[in-house]
Amino acid sequence: MSSDDVSRRAFMRTAGGAAAAAGAATATAGTAAAQEVAPDWPSGAEGNVGSYTDARGQDSVTISVGAGDQGLAFDPTLVWVDEGTTIVWEWTGNGGDHNVQTVDGGGPASLDSGSPVGEEGNTYEYETSGEDAGITHYHCVPHTAVGMHGGIAVGGDVATVETGGGGGSNAVFVPDAARALGIATFIAMVSTLGLAFVFMKYGGSITGREQA
C-alpha cells in the first residue's frame, strides 16, 4: 500500500468523524428547539385572548386590563416573570368596571386590586417575591363568567410543558441560538465533505507534486 493511500484513508476517517460530529450537533440543536417550554397553565387561565409573554429578565411588565374587542380580557393574558419583578395592570377604560383578584385556591400570589373600577389609566402594581413562586390563576370578578381570566408564573421552579406553536399548528418554535447552531454545523459539514472530495479526486497528484 502506498503512502498516498494511507494518507488518503486517514484523511477520510478524519473527515467522516467531523461530519458525524456536525450531524450530531445539528440533531442536538433540533432537540433543544423541540424542547422549548412554557408554564403549564391551569385550565381557564388562558382567558379570552390567550396571549403569552416570557418576561423573565425584565424588571417590570405591564398588562392591559380591559383588552380585546369587547374590553373583557387581560393582555398579555399569561406572563412568566422572575422573583422581584413588578407587574403593572393598567386599565384601558373599555369593557366596564374591572378588578384583579386571585381565583379562590388559584395559586400562591395574593392578587387583589380592590373594588372594580373602569377609569382609563388606573393601575395596580404587584412586586413578586419568593412567596409567589409557582403559577397563579387570577380573574376579574365581575366578568369571570365571560372568561376574563389570566395567569402569572413566578420564578424558575414552575411546572412546564413543551410548546409546539399556537393555533393548532404543528410547527415547533426554534430559538435563535439553536437555529444559528444548526446553520453553522451544516456549513461545517458541507465544507468538510467538500474538502474530502477534493482530496480524493486530486490528492494523488497534489502529493506527487509535493514529493517532486
Number of Cα atoms under 13 Å in the Cβ half of residue 68: 21
pLDDT of residue 173: 37
pLDDT of residue 187: 74
Positions of the chain with pLDDT lower than 50, given as ranges? 6, 11, 15, 19, 22, 25-34, 166-177, 206, 212
What letter would DSSP give residue 95? S
pTM metric for this prediction: 0.64
User: What confidence tens digit (pLDDT) does each residue in 139-198 have?
Assistant: 999 999 999 999 999 999 999 999 865 433 333 334 444 555 666 666 767 666 666 666
pLDDT of residue 198: 60
Following DSSP, what letter does each residue of 143-210 receive, concatenated? GGGGT-EEEEEESS-S-EEE---STT-------HHHHHHHHHHHHHHHHHHHHHHHHHHHHHHHHHHH
